[in-house]
Amino acid sequence: MKKVIKKYFKNKLVIALFIGGFLGLFAAFASSVEYTNSLKNPSYHALCSINPIISCGSVLGSQQGFVFGFSNSYIGMIAFSIILGVVTCLIAGAKLSNWFWKLFQVGTTFGFIFSLWLISQSLFVIKNLCVYCMVTWVAIATVFWYGLVHNLEQKNFGNNKHLEKFSKFASKHHLDILLGWYLLIFLIIVYKFWYYWKTLI
């Protein structure tokens, strides 16, 4: 059993899905707890509301936090639980079919696009940051990217010269590209709220 676990945890896909799934589930659960506490007590001060910019309460209770009529955190708890379920299957030795990975990519792509919209809303409409939301941004980007890299490596989207070149580049620089994405979002946050950050220096 230990040998199997060690084997699969050397696999970048398993590692990425585990980290992304765990972080995402934690963030979704924590944000749902915070929102529930605010419903019980209107004067409740969210633990993740640290300053005028990082204010979870204003983000979690916003209209954007209820896109489908209920808290987005519920979607997160379901989605990231499924991802951890996939990790469990992989560690157990399951060989998932190509159609599953294509479907998995569709789901994670939707999640990633949804997170992009939420990022834009948080930065430019609500103009506040939520710690748990930012953890979710990291989680879904990680899951989406490594699912895509896996599908490219397995040639699940077909095979042509351009796709093969991108696949080789993505496989070689998979971590660099992901860290670059994190850095881009970080720089946007710094730039957008620099008027406040500079007062802390």
What pLDDT digit, counting tens, does each position of 57-90 carry? 788 878 888 888 888 999 999 999 999 999 999 9
CB atoms within 10 A of CB 148: 22
- Taking 50 as the pLDDT cut, the residues of the chain under it are 1, 4-6, 8
Domain coordinates in residue numbering, the chain: 2-200
CA atoms of 129 and 137, how far apart (whole Å): 12
Q: What is the pLDDT of residue 10?
A: 61
What DSSP string runs through 147-188? Answer: HHHHHHHTTTT---HHHHHHHHHHHHTHHHHHHHHHHHHHHH
Residue 42 in 3-state DSSP? coil
Phi-psi region of 155 (alpha: psi -120 to 50; beta: other; left: phi over 0): left
Q: What is the pLDDT of residue 5?
A: 47
**For the segment 22-39, what is each residue's pLDDT rounded down to a tens digit?**
999 999 999 998 888 877
Q: What is the CATH superfamily name and number for domain 2-200? A: VKOR domain (1.20.1440.130)
